[in-house]
Amino acid sequence: MEHRTHISTKNLNVFYGRQVILNNISIDIPNKNITAIIGPSGCGKTTLLKSFNRLLELQEGISVTGQVLVDGEDINDPKVEVTRLRKKMGLLFQRPQILPMSIYDNVAYGLRVHGIKDKKTLSEAVRHYLMEATLWDEVKDRLYKSAAKLSIGQQQRLCLARGLAVEPEVILGDEPTSALDPISAERIERKLLELKSKYTIVLVTHILRQAKRLADYVVFLYMGNLVEHGPAKEFFENPKDHKTRAYINGQFIEEPAP
């Protein structure tokens, strides 16, 4: 089944000072699929993810050339409103980024920012998105208690609920299960598999087993370069590049002699 492209990069380069972090990356991220970005530590995975919603511009010393297109729009165009762009993107970090407020207010926060003030509407939305993140039954009797008292796995599902509440088109996950216990990680994985029918999901992961379990499409980076990308089944069963074969077999990647 063919899926339309949701996010594209064209000749994307990212520099930190004179150091090249990403080198000439051109890829198409399919709509309503799970795309896994994989590769060794320090290869540019998180940098690529952050390029999709202009989070890179918050880092001093970073410069970007090339294009990132979301729904065909070049997001680095100065005319693009960053707030509108980021509303399209739900973001899950490695460790849950809860707000220092109640469980209820964490979910309602984005809704209020976008102008929803009616208490009944907010309460219905909070319930809906906590249910969507499979957290409602665990917190419905303590909605007005501090979110900091939740377990780390619950906090990550709360962050998912907060992200979904602003009705994004894309969910970006930067190693979203790496700090979680196995049961909490499995819950997040199951939820992401359910959500891909509604959202484009892009995950950075260093866990190959997770990429094999979840991904429909895989992007493999090595030392800032795009080595290989394609449908997950083909990528894992018939890798074309020797670096890909070495990486998925747990071997050292050997560079050819100059």
98 located within any domain: no
pLDDT digit string (tens) for 155-173?
999 999 999 998 999 999 9
Lowest mean pLDDT among 38-47, 120-129, 244-253: 244-253
Residue in this structure with the two tokens 């080198």, named with its chain if needed = 23
Average per-residue pLDDT for the chain:
94
pLDDT digit string (tens) for 1-51?
557 999 999 999 999 999 999 999 999 999 999 999 999 999 999 999 999
- pLDDT number for residue 257: 46
- pLDDT number for residue 225: 97
134 located within any domain: no
17 located within any domain: yes
**CB–CB of 34/214 below 8 Å?**
yes
- pLDDT number for residue 1: 52
188 located within any domain: no
31 located within any domain: yes
Does 175 have pLDDT greater than 60?
A: yes
* Mean pLDDT of all residues in 85-101: 92
Q: What is the pTM of this model?
A: 0.93
pLDDT digit string (tens) for 185-212?
999 999 999 999 999 999 999 999 999 9
Q: Residue 233 sits in a domain of what CATH number?
A: 3.40.50.300
- pLDDT number for residue 108: 97
57 located within any domain: yes
Q: What is the DSSP string of 32-91?
A: TSEEEEE-STTSSHHHHHHHTTTGGGGSTTEEEEEEEEETTEETTSTTS-HHHHHHTEEE
Amino acid at 223: M
Question: What's the total number of domains in the chain?
Answer: 1
Does 258 have pLDDT greater than 70?
A: no
CA trace torsion 102, 190, 92, 159 (10° rounding): -10
In whole angstroms, what is the distance from residue 130 CA to residue 103 CA?
10
32 located within any domain: yes
248 located within any domain: yes
Domain enclosing residue 80, as ranges: 1-85+204-253
